[in-house]
Structure 1
Amino acid sequence: MSDPGAPGVSVVICAYTEDRWADVLAAVASVRAQSRPALETLLVVDHHRPLLDRLGEEYRETAGVRVLANAGPRGLSAGRNTGIAASRGDVVAFLDDDAVAERDWLRHFAEAYDDPRVLAVGGRTEPVWASGRRPDWFPEEFDWVVGCTYRGVPDGRVRVRNVLGGNASFRREAFDAAGGFATGIGRDGSGRPLGGEETELCIRLGRARPDAVLLIDDRAVIHHRVPEVRERFRYFRTRTYAEGLSKALVARSVGAGKGLESERRYTTRVLPAGVVRGLRDALLARPGGAGRAAAIVAGVLTAAGGYAVGSLRARRDGVTFSVTPIGEGGHD
């Protein structure tokens, strides 16, 4: 049973393709099986009428599950903003449409909000490789490429600059203070694997509320499916380049100081240690050691290239971003 004094949690799952039908059903089922029940689950469909109708029929008689159309422009940010505005919970949690949450996921989130200074809590995301195992060449330092927690994220319950959007929660007042996710940053339906929208929001939140505490609790675990196409080096290269483009947009929105603060530590400490580890494994004849070292170097170079190109484009085109004021939405 849930604590009657604990905040009600709305869970938002954004979906965009019928190709993930089974994944979406599994994601919803994992929320409905939580030890600490969600107040509601909102499925937001991104400009895909057949999927909207199909999910609406699937959950037509399911209490606590609502299916909504993205009310904004195509993309993940607008979909999340639609879910926030329609939600009723004191806390809004986000789960990827191709992930399943462990049974105590929401309980660990809710416990952290006992501290009124806490405005956001994220968790740990574990990869589920379609091939059954991690590719030998794929470095754990780059698990963010497939939407998972990477080597270098601190263990335990710790303060962070930003949470990761596929496994995260925010107190409603965070959106009242900072607005919603910025459209123009992150995945937008173009097919490019962009990101960074949650980073930009968290930095904006920190500016609006300097006393805010943002946490990651690695006991709040979800398992994220990694399809075979994302196990290939071609996707790795495309995603790291897109991350560079995204970081350029984040830096333009909130400034390079805060926008790249965590990334500087990552590139100067975590990644060099990963290269050394890979080379050591190669010397010890362990599978994939040289490949992991090479992938880290390649990832840094392609991300840096994306950042340079993104910065030039942003300056040339005068890129601006739209931040949606969320207000009270459907909150009681």
Structure 2
Amino acid sequence: MPDLSSVVTDSITPVATADRSGNARRVEHFAWIDLRGVSGDLRDAVLQAAIHHRIDGIVSDDLVLLSDLPPTIRRILAVTADHQPDELTDLTVDIVLSTSTNHNTNPPSGQSQWGTELIVSDATTLQTACNAVRSTPWTVLTFTDPTKIPLEIVIAAAENSGGHTVTVVNDITDAEIVKLVLEHGSDGLLLTPTSPDDVATLAQVVTHRHHTIPLVELTVTGIEHIGMGDRACIDTCSLLETDEGCLIGSFASGMFLSCSETHPLPYMPTRPFRWNAGAVHSYVLMPDNRTRYVSELRAGQPILAIRSDGTAREVRIGRVKIERRPLLSITATTPDGATINVITQDDWHVRLLGPGGTVNNVTELKTGDHLLGYVPTESRHVGLSFVLCCFTFARREQLIKAAESALAQTAPGEKVIVVVDHNDELQADLAAVFGDRVILSNNVFEQGVSGARNTGTQLADQEVVVFIDDDAALQPGALAAVRAAFADESVVSIGGAIDGNWENGAAPAWFPAEFGWVVGCDYRGLPDHGGALRNPIGAAMAVRREALHQINGFSSDLGRYGAFPTGCEETHMGVRLQREFPDHRIVRNTGFRVSHYVPANRATVKYFTRRCFQEGRSKSILTRMAGQRDALSSERSYTTKILTSGLWHARGNPARAAALVGGFALTCAGFALGLVQAALLGRTRVVAVGTARQDHVR
């Protein structure tokens, strides 16, 4: 680290404020792409990405390349210091970037400007950079040390000068930091990309996001003391304003504006970085219209701090303190008559903000009081974690298609998780295929699809976990349909539409449509879009993550083990969800559609009979675990209505009618045998989610 003690930073003061007509430093940031170290196909791909994402400028030493750029992109020609001015007079570029700081001559051409490229490595070069940013229109800076203090000094020197600072960044993480140095950050960022994706991400980094939340006036309709519970204080890494709160509520459809602990208290000092937010089940508003449960918040995450006029900024969470305290339930109505709720600590020093920034102690609230809140006018963003479980090389081709279909539809921040069920060779192969595009993990629970799904659930970090089979592929718009479905907070799980993609082109003539479940596909008798389900089919299902954790995930006593065709783990999950969340719904959503590959060996009578028998056996285990009423609730209607009508539909196809009768008989036989085995072996056990080792996770 160089010695900077000789730099008197107090002497580096901003110049007088420039004329407001346009010389003041701009608030927006911009991005440049450096193509000097990029060549071949990568250069072409990066260039196209830069044009598509409206990158501000391209830096290159290739004049021909720059000449072909559209006028929407700034052309920056990099030259060496020994170029003579008369060599640059006819250039058709916007900026001539030189390592020289001697730009006393006129601009190199009528439409061009000078730029200086400097390396800051010690006190002398730092002083040179400070002088350059005051006199040169464009200064590109490379800092050799990881500290951002030299950049802070240069930014302070450039204040109000009219010049632009462009800082070379190593990667996207570095770009995020450089953008925020001294609040304003460097005007521009210069990156040498390693892929076209870097260009897209850099464009997002420099996009100036104006956070304005349309607050509304709420009318208090009820206050109730509800006893003890766990509440959370959110400590931020910023000093908050007196009218700056976070938005919190029991439902994401409506939130209250909390008040920071910036107001005097009689028995304790203020904590101007803190919100005494609310009960741990509450939602809080995050950037990009996302929400999180208070209990999920972690140090370093961004959260929105909103002032009483609706202006908002991102602040970082330092810690979340959860303590057991008396709780108070506050209910209010929105301007359109909707009822919303928040549960806070039952104490005088906890406050909510009202119109005009008024401060309201929660213990002094009364019916008719007015508070500030937020009612989203559009569906909030629902984050998805996507889980694929696999165990065999036999479906490798379908697995890759499944993962690619998910990667094409995930939103920023969402991850695709691939769990390999105890097959090290397959895991190594997939690591080579996907690299860091997916989270790859071994099944750290008991072998089988239930353990693999529980592993994926443990790795998931979004609100909803989406599961499809490793031989299914999402159809266009599938994940968008999932997000839309879970914007309805009464929905705890959904099942999708599963189209059979038969290897032989179509189902065999004898195969009854009522038995599509045999091959993991839709079957006659399922409800229409929006209809209630007891449980989804595993080839296309999605569940709220917290709900899945609360029921201890999938039972390892049920579910497929390798190629052994057992099942009912989804049924058991559905039964427990309905018991644990009686006010929530499991529904069918046909927008969440997949194409499920059905190989030729599953289109056989042998597989059909084996699968029906094992389904009956699984139902017997489920009956002991969940009770006969819940375990067989759908089967009664299916048998009395769907199968009997199926015989009528199959009256002209004796083979199909025989398959209907035989499939039903085999399922009953498996059920009877399972009851006998269960009685002899005793009650089954359930393995909980969340107690596994982490050492298999890549």
The residue correspondences of 1:294-305 to structure 2 (distance < 5 A) are 294-305=658-669
Normalised by the length of structure 1, the TM-score is 0.92
The answer to whether the Cα contact below 8 Å between 1:10 and 1:38 also exists between their aligned partners in 2 is no
Does residue 1:226 correspond to 2:598, yes or no? yes
> Cα distance, 1:292 vs. partner?
1.1
CA gap 1:192/1:297 in 2 versus in 1, 3 angstroms: same
- Structure of greater relative contact order (alpha carbons < 8 Å, 6+ residues apart): 1
1:51 equivalent in structure 2? 426
2:499 equivalent in structure 1? 126
> Cα distance, 1:34 vs. partner?
2.0
Give the distance between the partners of 1:146 and 1:70, measured in 2 at CA: 24
1:317 equivalent in structure 2? 681
2:552 equivalent in structure 1? 179
| Secondary structure of residue in 1 paired with 2:428 | helix
**102-111 vs 236-245, which moves further:** 102-111
- Of all paired residues, the percent bearing the same amino acid is 36
The answer for unaligned runs of 5 or more in structure 1 is 283-288
Give the distance between the partners of 2:671 and 2:418, measured in 1 at CA: 33
Does residue 1:83 correspond to 2:449, yes or no? no
> Cα distance, 1:61 vs. partner?
3.8
- Partner letter of residue 128 of structure 1? N
The answer to whether the Cα contact below 8 Å between 1:89 and 1:172 also exists between their aligned partners in 2 is yes
| Secondary structure of residue in 2 paired with 1:152 | coil
The residue correspondences of 1:1-80 to structure 2 (distance < 5 A) are 5-34=380-409, 39-62=414-437, 65-80=438-453
> Cα distance, 1:220 vs. partner?
1.2
| Secondary structure of residue in 2 paired with 1:160 | coil
Match of 1:198 among 550, 553, 570: 570
The residue correspondences of 1:115-194 to structure 2 (distance < 5 A) are 115-189=488-562, 191-194=563-566
> Cα distance, 1:177 vs. partner?
2.3
Give the distance between the partners of 1:15 and 1:237, measured in 2 at CA: 24
* Per-residue CA distance 1:39-88 (angstroms, 9 max, x = gap): 110000000000011111211142xx111000011100000000000111
| Secondary structure of residue in 1 paired with 2:650 | helix
CA gap 1:215/1:36 in 2 versus in 1, 3 angstroms: farther
- Partner letter of residue 86 of structure 1? L
Give the distance between the partners of 2:685 and 2:664, measured in 1 at CA: 26
> Cα distance, 1:15 vs. partner?
0.6
CA gap 1:37/1:314 in 2 versus in 1, 3 angstroms: farther
2:260 equivalent in structure 1? none
Give the distance between the partners of 1:265 and 1:326, measured in 2 at CA: 36
The answer to whether the Cα contact below 8 Å between 1:119 and 1:173 also exists between their aligned partners in 2 is no
- Partner letter of residue 167 of structure 1? A
2:581 equivalent in structure 1? 209
- Partner letter of residue 12 of structure 1? V
The answer to whether the Cα contact below 8 Å between 1:35 and 1:104 also exists between their aligned partners in 2 is no
**26-35 vs 202-211, which moves further:** 26-35
* Per-residue CA distance 1:249-270 (angstroms, 9 max, x = gap): 1111100100000001001100
The answer to whether the Cα contact below 8 Å between 2:511 and 2:656 also exists between their aligned partners in 1 is yes
- Partner letter of residue 98 of structure 1? D
The answer to whether the Cα contact below 8 Å between 1:140 and 1:150 also exists between their aligned partners in 2 is yes
Give the distance between the partners of 2:479 and 2:436, measured in 1 at CA: 24
* Per-residue CA distance 1:254-288 (angstroms, 9 max, x = gap): 00100000001001100000011100xx1xxxxxx
CA RMSD of aligned residues (A): 1.9
CA gap 1:96/1:188 in 2 versus in 1, 3 angstroms: same
> Cα distance, 1:3 vs. partner?
7.0
Give the distance between the partners of 1:313 and 1:211, measured in 2 at CA: 36
**136-145 vs 38-47, which moves further:** 38-47
The answer to whether the Cα contact below 8 Å between 1:31 and 1:38 also exists between their aligned partners in 2 is no
> Cα distance, 1:319 vs. partner?
3.6
> Cα distance, 1:38 vs. partner?
7.6
The answer to whether the Cα contact below 8 Å between 1:99 and 1:225 also exists between their aligned partners in 2 is yes
Does residue 1:264 correspond to 2:264, yes or no? no
The answer to whether the Cα contact below 8 Å between 2:491 and 2:585 also exists between their aligned partners in 1 is yes
Give the distance between the partners of 2:625 and 2:688, measured in 1 at CA: 14
- Bigger fraction of residues in helix: 1
| Secondary structure of residue in 2 paired with 1:159 | coil
Structure number with greater Rg is 2
> Cα distance, 1:184 vs. partner?
1.1
The answer to whether the Cα contact below 8 Å between 1:80 and 1:181 also exists between their aligned partners in 2 is yes
2:72 equivalent in structure 1? none
* Per-residue CA distance 1:287-306 (angstroms, 9 max, x = gap): xx211111100000000000
| Secondary structure of residue in 1 paired with 2:531 | strand
- Partner letter of residue 324 of structure 1? A
> Cα distance, 1:321 vs. partner?
2.0
The answer to whether the Cα contact below 8 Å between 2:520 and 2:538 also exists between their aligned partners in 1 is no
The answer to whether the Cα contact below 8 Å between 2:454 and 2:689 also exists between their aligned partners in 1 is no
- Bigger fraction of residues in strand: 2
Give the distance between the partners of 1:60 and 1:301, measured in 2 at CA: 48
The answer to whether the Cα contact below 8 Å between 1:96 and 1:167 also exists between their aligned partners in 2 is yes
Question: Number of matched residues?
Answer: 318
Task: Write out the 4+ residue segments of structure 1 that deviate beyond 6 Å after TM superposition.
Answer: none
> Cα distance, 1:35 vs. partner?
7.5
